């Protein structure tokens, strides 16, 4: 009887050691609802596994989706094969609050060092400073804006940005541009320019031929052949308070390093035009 019991104990120990540490495991990830839906669709299109895909394409492709895939693949390459258990949030501010409290372990949001929430680990650099670019947008009838030639030409004009666009705000303030109104909602940018007399905003260049950006019936046009490079490196934040935080952080760092060496991260962002390599004829205003 003693021998049989010892054999069963040894067998159980052997099975425990042999089993994958992360088999069937899920980690809490804070995301907005639309992004969760996009990720589930991507899973269904790839037989439930995105660890080996090499690109995210189509109408479903967004920056947030790519960043979720990067997290998944980095964790996998770093030795942590896990699935996501989504906690739905309305925005990145709420997601950061869940990281601070330990209710979620990570979110796909990429932020600046200055916006790192308390009680979180900071990942290594995912996007380098001055890699992301934006156009200067306003009304086509605003001749003073459409004829700017330097960053100093923006100083007498009034800009409007979304409150959460910390990189944009930092970039303009670095050049002593302080006439900036801040709004909470994206559409308010368009209404302030169209109906309140504000001059410009910073927006990613549209993919339509004319590069025009729309919100409802309001059109904003870019200053021709001008871009601004955004200051600040971008990072993932990982909760220190969550029980899984430290090992998720360690696996993520290992995996991110591998993906950087492979060139995978740059490839993803270039494919969906987050990092642009087709703007050689544009002048960088803040150089």
C-alpha 264/C-alpha 55 separation (Å) is 9
Q: Is 4 helix (H, G, I), strand (E, B) or coil?
A: helix
Please write the tens of the pLDDT for every residue from 19-40: 333 446 999 999 999 999 999 9
Predicted TM-score of the model (pTM): 0.87
CA distance 124 to 258: 12
CA angle 200, 203, 208 (to 5 degrees): 115
Q: Give the DSSP letter string of 193-220.
A: HHHS---BEEEPPPSSTT--EEETTEEE
Q: Is the pLDDT of residue 233 over 90?
A: yes
Residues 98-133: tens digit of each pLDDT: 999 999 999 999 999 999 999 999 999 999 999 999
How far apart are alpha carbons 138 and 281 in whole angstroms?
Answer: 21
């Amino acid at each position: 009887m003693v021998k049989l019991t010892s054999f069963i104990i040894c067998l159980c120990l052997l099975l425990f050691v042999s089993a994958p540490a992360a088999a069937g495991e899920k980690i809490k990830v804070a995301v907005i609802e639309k992004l969760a839906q996009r990720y589930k669709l991507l899973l269904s299109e790839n037989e439930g596994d995105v660890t080996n895909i090499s690109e995210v394409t189509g109408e479903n492709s967004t920056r947030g989706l790519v960043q979720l895939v990067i997290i998944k693949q980095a964790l996998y390459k770093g030795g942590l094969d896990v699935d996501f258990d989504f906690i739905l949030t309305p925005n990145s501010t709420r997601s950061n609050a869940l990281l601070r409290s330990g209710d979620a372990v990570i979110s796909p949001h990429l932020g600046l060092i200055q916006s790192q929430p308390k009680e979180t680990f900071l990942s290594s650099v995912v996007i380098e400073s001055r890699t992301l670019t934006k156009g200067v947008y306003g009304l086509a009838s605003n001749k003073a804006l459409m004829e700017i030639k330097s960053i100093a030409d923006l100083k007498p004009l009034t800009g409007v940005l979304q409150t959460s666009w910390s990189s944009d705000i930092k970039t303009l303030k670095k050049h002593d541009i302080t006439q900036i109104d801040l709004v909470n909602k994206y559409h308010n940018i368009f209404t302030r320019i169209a109906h309140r007399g504000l001059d410009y905003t910073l927006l990613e260049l549209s993919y339509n031929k004319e590069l025009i950006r729309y919100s409802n019936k309001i059109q904003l046009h870019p200053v021709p052949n001008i871009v601004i490079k955004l200051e600040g490196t971008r990072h993932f934040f990982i909760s220190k308070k969550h029980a899984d935080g430290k090992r998720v952080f360690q696996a993520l760092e290992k995996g991110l390093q591998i993906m950087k060496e492979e060139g995978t991260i740059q490839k993803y962002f270039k494919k969906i035009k987050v990092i642009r390599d087709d703007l050689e004829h544009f002048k960088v205003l803040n150089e």
